[in-house]
Amino acid sequence: MSRHRYTKQSDVRRSKTWRNRRRRSKHDSETVKRLNFPLEFLEPRHMLCGDPVSLSEDPTGSGYFVFATSEALTPGTDFKCYGFDALAGDRVVVVVDTPNGALNPSASLLNVSGGTLTSDNDGGPGNDSLLGPTTISSTGTYYARVAGQSGTLGEYDVRVEVLRGDVQVETDRDNDNATIASADVLTLHHSNGLAVANVVGNISADDAVADTDLFLIGRLNANVSVSLALTLPSFSELDGQIEVIDSTGALVIDEDGQLDFAGLFITPQADSYFARVSATSGAGSRGTYVLGVSVDDDVPPQIDSVVGLPGEGGTLDIVPNAFAIDFDEPIAGQTLQSNSFSLIAAGPDNQFDTPDDVDYNLVNEPPYTSGTRVSFTIDGGQAIAGNHRLRLNPSITDAAGNSLDGDGNGAGGDAFERIFTVTLPDGTAGAYENHNNATLASATPLTVATDPVGTGIHRVVGLGSQSVADSNVWADEDWWSFVADAGDQAVISLNAQGTGINAYIELYNPSGNFVTSDDNGGPGSDSLISGYVIPTSGVYYVRVGNWNAATGNYKLVVDLARGVAVETDAQYHNDTLSNADPVSFPSRNDATRVGSIAGIIQGTEGTNLDEDLFQLGVLNTGNLVSLSIRLPNASSLVPRLAILNSSGAVVTEEDPNNLTGTLTATVSENDVYYARVVAESGEGPDARYVLDVHIDDDVAPEITGVNRLPLPLADGTVYREAVLDQAPSVYLP
């Protein structure tokens, strides 16, 4: 294992290797010191630390402040602390290396009260510690604490690093950024016509793996000049080399042909490019460097694609809650302001830039930090039909300051526009989630609308998105609210619209208490709460989460059946005769029975097709059964009806070539009968219907058997008295 210890300053002055011959800047520094803190201080705070130490900016002007020393934990000294001052927004890294491996160190970052902000045991090579980067929330004094695990003692080298301003720092826990897939992403900013970045790193030494640090510069166009240079802090002994590689790992040749600490590279084609730093010698505790990146790019950024919206002149049913725009190179995030992008609906006159235009409230969410994709969500409001215009203004630039080339003609300074049409089939509308609906108190309100067809189904649609790629179910928590009346039967479905999110929904009552939930009651990973009876009138709440790290749009539908029964169809429950929902027939004074029940033909799950079965009861020979379907406004369903007997055999069904949503049949034998509703087409969350059943029954009931009454004696006489162990039963047809 290659390790290095910090030495006394007298040794440093004598060491020929202390100052690297290739270092581009040399600065005297008091960074490396031998400290012998007394074991005192902060007793009232239940911690034991020394006086604050001084951090030096090294190299000067780099934004990299560091304190480094060599120490030892000895018997009676089981930990040591190093106090330092930091500003809000600073990032702190603590590194503990062990030259001989006797000490198994643990590093902690403490606040002035002695509270632990974060800690690390084995983030560095072997059992060494690498803590951070940790962002400081408030200006003050902080402490780096070094201790031995399991009572171990021994020598160690410690670095306390503070990054301030634009300088970045690698994330190198367990050599994490050693591959293209795990490369640290650099954030470039505009400076004097160039896109620049500076990042601090360290080439560690380890027995098993040679440390290499990779940084994604970004997607660059062809013939772009990339300059790289390593600058070393005064304590560094690194003899480093830098390279540029493309997305396949192929080398881009340095213009001077030398593999060393500085170079100029010309990109051969449009691709993603990476800076790679490695060591020819000096890896270990003193393998620290500052990498400077400068990109000379005069090619303006263009838009490659719009993800989630149609092409120019295209149409779609409804604008999704979230969509994205892919640029051909990274952009300057500070130029992505609210006035640099817009989505406009032309309004009733279908003309843009007139008083009836409607401005969708677009938000850059998740906020852009790096890369070529910019994501947007719609913050509240209603879905609108008609012509729409997406626009991005030329105030958006790349990191080098080149203005957007919106029309793609090679010259920057013009806007990008995309015009398309929204149809809103059958008048379907929807409400977009509010940007800040992460709590019950901030729930996006949904206004339930009465069905104009008169089915008794009241409905509202919410258009939302899960935008956080995290398997924590509440990583992107969405709340919605709606008003319901006592006795309403609620059907609440969440459709992932093919995005891959695994939705989970919960229902809360007006008091804010949980009442029920569902995970996969709908097709695939969709959720469905089916037939929940509202006990009291008031505002109810739906909480939406996501069980996996997929992101995307979803459609939340709340149907309230008022004055009509509703099927129970979670996980396709009523797809079998044994689980068929009974149709209720209110009492009448004539020879007819009339009942209704509402349902939804869900989408398919694998090879399973949703079929809704309803029990009509026992019917007699000669009974006339009439079935008919009423479709609520905006229903997508094309239904097909059938009547089944108790064995599941089809007695009669609609001709698929002549579908009318009606079916009439005369019963030929006494039996239990069922109505079946399936989709000829249009199945899914909008495939709603109401099934009306009308039975003409002029057949008088007959007694077909008597149970639990005594039989006549052999001579024909009957018992006048009998003791029965159960009540008698009379069988009627």
pLDDT in tens, 256-267: 877 788 999 999
Does residue 146 register a pLDDT over 80?
yes
Lowest mean pLDDT among 143-152, 227-236, 601-610, 720-729: 720-729
Domain locations in the chain as residue ranges: 31-165, 173-296, 303-423, 431-559, 570-696
Asked whether the domain spanning 303-423 has the same topology as the one spanning 31-165, the reply is no
Instruction: Say if CB 631 and CB 453 are below 8 A apart.
Output: yes
Higher pLDDT, 534 or 429: 534
Give the range among 117-121, 351-355, 423-427 with minimum mean pLDDT. Answer: 423-427
How far, in Å, are 8, 379, 544, 552 from residue 383 at the CA level?
A: 70, 11, 20, 18
Among the residue ranges 28-37, 112-121, 184-193, 581-590, the one predicted with the least confidence is: 28-37
The answer to whether 53 and 35 are in contact (CB under 8 A) is: yes
Q: What is the CATH number of domain 570-696?
A: 2.60.120.380
| Confidence grade of residue 190 (pLDDT, cut at 50, 70, 90) | confident
CATH architecture for segment(s) 173-296: Sandwich (2.60)
The overall average pLDDT reported for the chain is 86
**303-423 is classed CATH 2.60.40.1220:** yes
- What backbone phi and psi angles, to 5 degrees, belong to 572? 55, 45
- If pLDDT is split at 50, 70 and 90, which confidence band does 451 have? confident
In 3D, which of 501, 561, 571, 491 has the Cα closest to residue 529? Answer: 491
CATH code for 431-559?
2.60.120.380
Task: DSSP for 359-420, please give it.
Answer: EE-EEE-SPP-SSSEEEEEE-S-B---EEEEEEE-TT-BBTT-PBPBTT-SS--SB-EEEEE
pLDDT for residue 171: 86
Q: What are phi and psi of 40, to 5 degrees?
A: -155, -175
> For position 439, what pLDDT does the model report?
95
Report, at the CATH architecture level, how domain 31-165 is classified.
Sandwich (2.60)
Give the residue with greater pLDDT, 238 vs 588: 238
Q: What's the pTM value of the predicted model, to 2 decimals?
A: 0.64
Higher per-residue confidence, 260 vs 669? 669
Residue 359 has pLDDT above 80, yes or no: yes
Q: Quote the DSSP letter at residue 32.
A: B
pLDDT of 21 higher than 50: no
Q: What is the pLDDT of residues 532-557, one digit of tens each?
A: 999 999 999 999 998 887 788 888 99
Q: Is 597 helix (H, G, I), strand (E, B) or coil?
A: strand
Q: Please state the φ and ψ torsions of residue 478, each to the nearest 5 degrees.
A: -115, 135
